[in-house]
Structure 1
Amino acid sequence: MVATLSTTNSTTLERDARLINARGHEVRPSDIAVGVIIGRASEFFDFFVYAIASVIVFPAVIFPYVDALTGTLYSFAVFALAFIARPFGALLFVWLDRKHGRGVKLTIAMFLLGGSTAAMAFLPAYAQAGGLAVALLALFRLGQGFAQGGTWDGLPSLLSLNAPHEKRGFYAMIPQLGAPIGLFVAAAVFAFLLTALSPADFLDWGWRYPFFVAFVINVVALFARLRLISTPEFERLYESQELQPTPVGELFREEGRTVILGAFAPLASFALFHLVTVFPLSWVVLKGEPAEHFLVIELVGAVVGLISVVLSGYIADRIGRRTLLGVSAAFIAAYSGFAPQLLGTGSTGEWVYMIVGFILLGLSFGQSSGAVNSSFSARRRYTGAGTTATASWFIGAGFAPLAALFLASHFGLLSVGAYLLSGAVCTLAALGLNREWGGKEA
């Protein structure tokens, strides 16, 4: 395949990169899938490394001047900062994309993300730096969130555009595989360190290792993604306007309804996302259970979630993505009525809560972005998909660990179920309002 390299939306550096990497290379769906999985897995590894450290490291190292519960709540408040910064980062990186090209934007975003993550490995403890340690943690977390606003590379959209019509649900779930993979690797690294090191050594230096690993993984992921966005197929879709960024103002003016409804459609899965990955770890650790024990449960849960994400693709291609999202939301609503209380019943209850939760999460999360992205016009799909994802994570996930732990500690685990139920109701309402997503075509 030969493509004329457009000068639009490119710098000299961007065009040279395409000439070097794209010559004679025809992109295949399998190539895109691998690039998408590597990219998303690296982002989620960063995400879960920080999330796990928020429970088992930062309360003791950064917030030792308060009790464990308050320290964890403070950690989750800092955790939420990334979701606040992400929309601002997205606005800047959309401008960079339009002005200097996707490769430049992605390189800056990935190095900022990796640099902010690696910088956390050098955080001084509160005992050494006092309030400066808290300020640095908040700053680096804001850096992570700001960078995540620019990591949208359009590869999931490229993947869906290359997908056979009858397998769009299967291809839609591929980007979502990054979440259980990232969780599995992050949980495995922390479980190993907790087992191999003494508590003193872990809190002194052992916890820093995963943050170094995150930077290395980001660099590998960056080159995997740059290789794909330098291909002639990507350039052809640039020229046809299908993968070009559009102004955010134009997006909201022309397709604002889709953005708003799309932001609420996946809330059931996004709320459940944190209620089976981050919140339960904090709850059992605060109750005195060893973190490494529960991380083993999360490792098994990640595998179950991975399988469920794959199954979501096959099921969606038979009954439709909108139908699968709706049915999953209904099951999540039912799950919210009894499951959170299981966390207070011992090991068996924890296993049931996590395994059932990951099954539901995989089925819903696997299609949470595909149905949204397909609703945008070709011209605005790239910006629309990224904007909707940013809004969904902010509304449905950013404050979930903080809200769940606060509710559980003050009103009991039943209140966590009510919180999850609200997400399921939002999903069902959004799907009901946007009937354009109906049937197998969605």
Structure 2
Amino acid sequence: MSETVATPHFAGSPAQPGARGHTVNPTEIAIGVVIGRTSEFFDFFVFAIASVLVFPERVFPFVDPVTGVLYSFAIFALAFIARPFGTWLFMAIDRLHGKGTKLTIALFLLGTSTVVVAFLPDYQDVGAAAIWLLALFRIGQGVALGGTWDGLASLLAMNAPENQRGWWAMVPQLGAPFGLIVASGLFAFFYGFLPTEEFDAWGWQFPFFVAFAINVVALFARLRIVATPEYVRQFERRELQATRVRKTVRQYGRYIIVGAFAPLASFAMFHMVTVFPLSWVELFTKEQVTRFLIIEAVCAVIGALAIVASGMLADKYGRRNLLGVTALLIAVFSGFAPSLLAQGVAGEIIYMVFGFALLGVSFGQCSGVVASNFPRNYRYTGSAVVSDLAWLFGAGFAPFVALYLTYHLGLVAAGLYLLSGAVATMLALRYNDLLEYQE
């Protein structure tokens, strides 16, 4: 395999013919990456919102509303538990059949696992089978997410010019607010404008149908990326070749541990301003859920702008410095901000605006923060495993833990989970500095 290092082409560079003869420029690559991430996060948020508004009544009608949402959040976490298995499975498919086959299977599995939720029978019709089916569909989403990893999030940053790495690192992260905007907007429309009977009968299903369509679009966008000369060059340099997960973990476990804990502040914050506030509003306030979903969508726009700003700030002050400062600010935020949710609409808006602004700056730079520690031929698989574990530890149980603590100890206690993520990030960044110093 050739080890010739070609100079990556970024914004302003001339486009070159792709592997199949078409011309693709870096802007198209960035758009493809954003579309792919948007599809993933849209599926994520559709299931999360339904965990608050739909599943407690349809799947867990035999318990009180709070317990129903907690049970839904427990099933929600299954995808994060299943995702590392999906990475292992699809890395094997990658090695045997190539990335095109891997992405096609993964995205169709993701879309199918999402759309079949729309056909989930009620507990009153099939009993406990409804719970098992919902859990099965959620596990399917998690396995599929493990296969959608394309490695471009960290590779864009690592191969960008030295003074533009922060800018290119933030591009894939825009998929999160875009996915939330679409998901919140759809649920706000159907939940707010349909009679309750019609929403319960069919309105809640529509976002799940849309998810499958978006995944098809994302599939073609990602297959186009695989055909670009930039992607081929990275493959030739062995930066996009899949290695065995077990071997990667065994040889570079310390990098994986550091990488998994470094973005925990961002990932914990992620659910504390997206999923958890919706459950609070639905269960403990008389606030209109539709209005809050609109607030959430608007604040997601603020989050997107903050992600863009993170690129400029990281290039000016350093990525590691930015993550450290935002982790400290998130720790401060965790001490008082959750109580704002109990202060009416004004408090909710303040919480959401500042929360999304902090999230955007932090989340925009948390992808692949220690990916450069991996040797070239282990970066692709190592970064995938790091991402799986970071989402599992930082976000997978966040809605459940935050709601449980709030229900039993009050809103201030919910901030403890967020604080733990901020502390983990600061410790991981410090340990990463020590690793770099030793080497």
Structure-2-length-normalised TM-score? 0.93
Q: 1:361 to 1:332 in 2, by over 3 A?
A: same
* CA positional deviation for 1:154: 2.2
**65, 68, 77: which is aligned to 2:65?**
68
* CA positional deviation for 1:26: 4.9
* CA positional deviation for 1:347: 0.8
**303, 315, 318: which is aligned to 1:317?**
315
Segment of structure 1 superposing worse, 280-289 or 170-179: 280-289
Q: Aligned equivalents of 1:28 and 1:163: distance in 2?
A: 14
* CA positional deviation for 1:417: 1.1
- 1:429 corresponding residue in structure 2: 427
- 2:14 corresponding residue in structure 1: none
Q: Establish whether residue 382 from structure 1 lines up as the match of residue 380 from structure 2.
A: yes
* CA positional deviation for 1:379: 1.4
1:29/1:159 contact within 8 Å kept: no
- 1:234 corresponding residue in structure 2: 231
1:212-249: CA deviations, max 9, x gaps? 00000000000010011023332232122121111223
Structure 2 residue matching 1:283: 3-state secondary structure: helix
Q: Aligned equivalents of 1:437 and 1:112: distance in 2?
A: 38
- 1:224 corresponding residue in structure 2: 221
- 1:8 corresponding residue in structure 2: none
**393, 398, 401: which is aligned to 1:395?**
393
Q: Aligned equivalents of 1:379 and 1:320: distance in 2?
A: 26
- 1:215 corresponding residue in structure 2: 212
Q: Tell me, which stretches of 5 or more residues in structure 2 are unaligned? A: 3-16
1:160-206: CA deviations, max 9, x gaps? 35522210000000110000000000000000111220011101110
1:27/1:233 contact within 8 Å kept: no
**360, 368, 380: which is aligned to 2:366?**
368
2:113/2:138 contact within 8 Å kept: yes
Q: Aligned equivalents of 1:345 and 1:215: distance in 2?
A: 38
Q: 1:96 to 1:220 in 2, by over 3 A?
A: same
Give the alignment's Cα RMSD to 1 decimal: 1.8
- 2:336 corresponding residue in structure 1: 338
**187, 192, 196: which is aligned to 1:199?**
196
1:275/1:401 contact within 8 Å kept: yes
- 2:99 corresponding residue in structure 1: 102
* CA positional deviation for 1:48: 0.2
2:42 maps to a residue whose letter is F
- 1:356 corresponding residue in structure 2: 354
- 2:5 corresponding residue in structure 1: none
1:360 maps to a residue whose letter is L
* CA positional deviation for 1:145: 0.5
Structure 1 residue matching 2:351: 3-state secondary structure: helix
1:371/1:437 contact within 8 Å kept: no
Q: 1:65 to 1:241 in 2, by over 3 A?
A: same
1:32-60: CA deviations, max 9, x gaps? 21111000000000000000000011111
1:173/1:370 contact within 8 Å kept: no
1:341/1:414 contact within 8 Å kept: yes
Structure 2 residue matching 1:153: 3-state secondary structure: coil
Q: How many residues align?
A: 422
Q: 1:250-329 maps to which residues of 2 (within 5 A)?
A: 250-287=247-284, 288-329=286-327
Q: Aligned equivalents of 1:379 and 1:261: distance in 2?
A: 19
**74, 81, 102: which is aligned to 1:77?**
74
Structure 2 residue matching 1:368: 3-state secondary structure: coil
Q: 1:148-159 maps to which residues of 2 (within 5 A)?
A: 148-159=145-156
1:26/1:233 contact within 8 Å kept: no
Q: 1:437 to 1:199 in 2, by over 3 A?
A: farther
1:270 maps to a residue whose letter is F
1:310 maps to a residue whose letter is V
1:236-288: CA deviations, max 9, x gaps? 32122121111223322332211100100000110010000000100110023
Q: 1:125-136 maps to which residues of 2 (within 5 A)?
A: 125-136=122-133
Segment of structure 1 superposing worse, 115-124 or 370-379: 370-379
Q: Establish whether residue 168 from structure 1 lines up as the match of residue 165 from structure 2.
A: yes
* CA positional deviation for 1:397: 0.4
Q: Aligned equivalents of 2:279 and 2:18: distance in 1?
A: 45
Q: Aligned equivalents of 1:157 and 1:352: distance in 2?
A: 32
Q: Aligned equivalents of 1:182 and 1:381: distance in 2?
A: 27
2:292 maps to a residue whose letter is F
Stretches of 4+ aligned residues off by more than 3 angstroms:
436-439
Q: Aligned equivalents of 2:230 and 2:343: distance in 1?
A: 54
Identity %: 60
- 1:10 corresponding residue in structure 2: none
1:392-415: CA deviations, max 9, x gaps? 000110000000000000011111
Q: Aligned equivalents of 2:436 and 2:28: distance in 1?
A: 30
Q: 1:136 to 1:433 in 2, by over 3 A?
A: same
Q: 1:369 to 1:437 in 2, by over 3 A?
A: farther
Structure-1-length-normalised TM-score? 0.92
Q: Tell me, which stretches of 5 or more residues in structure 1 are unaligned? A: 6-19
